[in-house]
Chain A
């Protein structure tokens, strides 16, 4: 992709882009990975703790406890987004706070808050899935193909 763009650029543009690349500070990938590992893991530990609580104190079994656990995590994320804390935490955490379910909740809540000024229908309703929409669309498409592949493979394997 980047190489394609560079090919289309004129020699002067290419030379400039090479110069600019040298000066631009790089994303600190190792540090970002480490932070993402720590915070992503921490969020999962918190999730596990919540799940254990549902199992031990509210009488859910392991499988059924996952639904209220996700709901609690989403709730925490939405509250932190509303208080204006989540984006600051995410600048530090990076992918660690974006990948888990809390990141998904943040993308919806932040868009909903942002577009509240354009009204409930066109603003909140219309723009809420601005960032989450692609995740749902391509998640569903991926799930369809995985499902199809599973069916075909199992089918040819002589199962049903």
Chain B
């Protein structure tokens, strides 16, 4: 199962039996609106705080994913999830509602693929038949915790990113119909000394590049093996830097289509998002909504999703610490009916 230095090959090919995505109104008016299962018109979700609203996002996505898989929550053995809130409250509180045995993980915005990689590894090893993997973020709760109050009038620089309000969840199972998870690469923590929390793309790009290169080194394949490689939330600035780094390292990324979830979810012309999107929800809703739908339609046969995370805390950056970053890659391929 271990391949190379830091990658796993899943020889039993765990199946993403179903997935579900829930987003807020801003994401619902973006170009991927048709690919989301639930679009909320009110970003408070009729709750009385942003944090509670975020919890409802993941609860709904989890319940819908279980339903779409034709299961009941009692049949799901484990729930692996995390989010950006202090002490990952959104996921833990959702686990309280779901009453599924729970493993909380934190990988900031890389949590989507961290949880999917762990779920696939467990299912592949026979430790479970069905695992729920999911993550969420809410624009207002994240701004409140990491930056300024949502209504505070500060001018964001062009490198800033807009946190996605949304949750994505998937059911990974031993058998069934759907796309299969074939391999995963666990990333190292990379810190290039970037300290500006309004410039996450530049901070995370080296981590994404490191994990992608490690993936191909470990698996001894070429980027052309995949129809699509997507990074999680580098947005415009980080994406350009990543392209530059690939060029510098003579890495043949041009063999395939390379894109970034943070550049796909919003419309740059009509939505004021500066460099693009970010947040746990970003790679989760784009992958579990848009990309898996494209795969089910047959438009993509093999893809590598590389979710990127900035592992800072509001305290660490006030103390002048730089931003350590991580990226986890998961390969998803078209599956048959098994």
Please list the residues of chain A having a beta carbon within 8 angstroms of any beta carbon in chain B.
Answer: 5, 9-10, 12-14, 16-17, 19-20, 23-28, 32, 81-82, 84, 86-91, 93-95, 97-98, 103, 106-107, 109-111, 113-115, 117, 130-131
Contact = CB atoms under 8 A, between A and B. Distances in A.
B272 A91 contact: yes
A5 B191 CA distance: 14
B192 A110 contact: no
B269 interface: no
B26 to A, nearest CB: 13
Contacts of B151: 81-82, 84, 86-87, 106, 109-110, 113-114
B192 A16 contact: yes
A19 B150 contact: no
Q: Most A CB atoms within 10 A — which of B48, B153, B272?
A: B153
- Nearest 9 CB-CB pairs, A to B? A90-B153, A117-B49, A114-B149, A110-B151, A110-B149, A110-B152, A13-B193, A25-B158, A94-B155
Contacts of B193: 5, 9-10, 13-14, 16-17
B194 A113 contact: no
B165 interface: no
Contacts of A14: 193
B192 A87 contact: no
B304 interface: no
B237 A25 contact: yes
Interface in B93-133: none
Interface in B149-202: 149-159, 191-195, 199, 202
Contacts of A89: 153
Contact of B153 (A19, A25, A28, A110): A110
A91 B199 CA distance: 17
A27 B159 CA distance: 9
B171 to A, nearest CB: 32
A109 B195 CA distance: 29
Nearest to B203: A20
B144 interface: yes
A4 B268 CA distance: 36
Q: Most B CB atoms within 10 A — which of A32, A87, A97, A109?
A: A87
A106 B152 contact: yes
B295 interface: no
A10 B158 CA distance: 27
B50 A117 contact: yes
Nearest to A12: B192
Q: Most B CB atoms within 10 A — which of A89, A109, A117?
A: A117
Contacts of B154: 87, 90, 98
